[in-house]
Every structure is written in C-alpha cells, then in structure tokens.
Structure 1
C-alpha cells in the first residue's frame, strides 16, 4: 500500500476508540487508514462505513503509510498489534497511545501493570525510535473528539518523552475541541494516568454512567 498524503493517520484497531478518533482526524483533513488483521472483516467494514473515505490495510502497511499513528487497541492485543505494525515503520513518527492495561479475568477490570511500569512505557520500549504520547485514556470514546459535558469542559492529561510530539498532540486536542492539555511529564507518567483511568472506570461501574470526565481546577496561570 502506498499513500503520498503527508497527513495520513494510521488507526491501529477498528473498535469504538479507533472509529471516534478516525472521525476526528478525518475532519482535520487527514487521510485515514485502519490497520487491522482482517481488512475484509465485518468490524473493518463497519469502521470504513463510519468514516467515509477511509481505507484499510494490514498493521504494517498502515503504519508505513502514516505520518501519525494511534494505538486504538485493547490491552490484550496491544503488544501483538505494535509488533505487527513494526518499529521500523513507525520510526520517528508520533504514536498516540490511548490504551489502558485492563485485566478482566476476575470480572470487573483491574490494572494488569502499575506502580513500576505502564502500557505507555511498554509501547515506548517496543517502539524505541517513535515519539510515543499517552493521551485520550481518561475519557469515553464518545467524548474524545468535541467533548461537551453539561457542567464544564474536561481536561486531558498527557505524557511523553518528546516535547515536539506533545506539542503536536496539544494542537490536535485543541482542534478536537479540548482545552490545552496538561503535560504530566515523560512517558513514565503513564503510571499515573492509567490508574487515573481506573478512577474513571470505577465511577462508571458504580453509577452506570459513562459520559463523565476530569477537570483540574485552579491551574497555574
């Protein structure tokens, strides 16, 4: 697969997160290519129908064609998906990681890793020359683009090693309708952001309510 559009985003995964972010990128004029194990499968067909003009390819082909990649993959498939995409195909590129390391083996989700490691750090290890930024992991897919809550505007917290990549994500967030993001530091701060997602998830389960978000009040001027 070839694509000469310099604004091409690889959405690795074709679930609700991937579709939501794909729609946002498409609105900004990006060519969207879904990376998938089955480019002809039912889920892929549904994703393509939801994002007119999008295409589908293998993980590696989508990663190679992209200027930006989004890891819209569940924890259970994250490492395999990243390896299938190929570190060489994402070298030097912005890779946005909205994943959370959730273990559903006991029913209610718990963190599979934490305190001394994180999904964000795993992704950066697997993609040592990519510019990984943790973002979008503390909000429902339906509010990842154009977040509109009745009682205020939520904040997005991000983390990553590369300042330029975080600035790029900040510009994307603004274009998606967010306020400027809160930079929590390097990729090890994923150890904070992923447990914060558990607060979001726990509240959702306890209240059967999935359209909430976080705001940091009294931010430093």
Structure 2
C-alpha cells in the first residue's frame, strides 16, 4: 500500500470512474476527476460520492496527476485524450480500462477494433510519452475494488511496454484486493485482453449474471 500522498487523475466521472476513485481515495490518494465540465451535475454527483476528490478540466487534471486512470467511453476516447494534452501524460503511468465496444446499448456489443490493433495500442499512440498499462477491463465496475467471490480471488490480465509501470499497477491491484496481475507482455497483448472482455460480456448477457471474474489456475511460478 502506498504511504506518501500521490495524486491519481480519473478521466471520466461515470460509474467506472466513481468506483475506482473510491478505491484510490480509500488508499490515501488525492483523487481528481478529469471531465469536460467540472461544474456539471454529473461532476457534482461524482464529488458527492467521493467527498475528498476534486474536479478539473481534462488538461488540468492530467497535468496534476502522478497516475492516470482512463474510465472513458470508447466513442469519446480519442477526443478526450486530445483535449487533455498528450504532453501532460509524459512519464506517467496510465491505466487503460477502456473496452472498444460498439452497439452496447442494443444489447449485442461488438469490438470496434481487434486482432491487428487494440484500444490499448491506440492510447499508447495518442500518448507516446506515457507508460500505458492495459488493465481493469475484464470485470464489472462493482468488482474493480475489493472483488469478493465465494470460490476465490480473481486475477487481472495486464499488458504494457514499461516494466516499472506494470509493477506499479500490480501493486495497485493487490491493494484493491485482487490476487495479483498476470503480465501478458507488451501493449500489443491488449489485442488478446480486450476480446477476453467480450467473453465476460457475452457470458453476462447470456446468463443475465454480472458478478463474475477470471482466475487462472495452475499458474507457472
């Protein structure tokens, strides 16, 4: 668990953003919500849910961050990161939890990109000086922090180009109550991790069951 106060910027103030913000606040982080409109009703609702947090523009929030968590919708990802200013992410760990989904409202979501590209790779291209780690995209928002399952702790698959950034995210996952992280390699492994989220979503829609997670048994030591 971190001891010195660090600032985490959560870009996005919807249900995912609020869930992880609560987790970071419980660990002693200063939380800043990055949003298009810090004075909106949605921003006020997020601040009411996380009373110690602040809200700022995308750019100001990214500039103030030690660590960034992307809780943005796919259809607004590129524009939001452009507004935030790529230079403001230089040298910072960026946790990318975005799934590139189309037609989610219709109940039949599909991947917008896959197999030869991924949302994780797009984020790394948009933020070339950042240390992007794909994580937190294969679980429902209510289980991102302190996930509780009767048959054990879940694992989170991660990917990224920077070893130190992946170690930082692994430590955060453990602080959040996960058994650990399974490092699948560089950011191109997001091409595998994002379709895994589609498996999670497909199971959820078929069974109308939204509280499940992945655990890898017999892991290599």
Residues of 1 paired with 2:122 and 2:151: CA distance? 35
1:34-183 alignment runs, 5 A limit: 34-104=33-103, 107=106, 108-183=108-183
Residues of 2 paired with 1:137 and 1:146: CA distance? 15
Deviation at 1:85, TM superposition (A): 1.1
Judge conservation of contact 2:32–2:55 (CA < 8 Å) in 1. Answer: yes
Alignment coverage as a number of residue pairs: 217
Judge conservation of contact 2:5–2:28 (CA < 8 Å) in 1. Answer: no
Deviation at 1:84, TM superposition (A): 1.1
Unaligned runs of 5+ in 2: none
Deviation at 1:152, TM superposition (A): 1.7
Deviation at 1:6, TM superposition (A): 5.7
Q: 2:16 maps to what in 1?
A: 17
Judge conservation of contact 1:6–1:67 (CA < 8 Å) in 2. Answer: no
Residues of 1 paired with 2:198 and 2:75: CA distance? 17
State the TM-score, normalized to the length of structure 2: 0.96
Query: What SS does the corresponding residue of 1:188 show, helix, strand or coil?
Result: helix
Query: What do residues 97-145 of structure 1 show as CA deviations (whole Å, max 9, x unaligned)?
Result: 0000001179211000000000000000000010000000000001101
Residues of 1 paired with 2:109 and 2:126: CA distance? 24
State the TM-score, normalized to the length of structure 1: 0.96
Residues of 2 paired with 1:36 and 1:16: CA distance? 14
Query: What do residues 40-91 of structure 1 show as CA deviations (whole Å, max 9, x unaligned)?
Result: 1111111101111101000000000000001100101111111111111010
Query: What SS does the corresponding residue of 2:180 show, helix, strand or coil?
Result: coil
The 1:176–1:106 alpha-carbon spacing in structure 2 relative to 1, beyond 3 Å, is closer
Query: What SS does the corresponding residue of 1:156 show, helix, strand or coil?
Result: strand
Moved over 4 A (4+): none
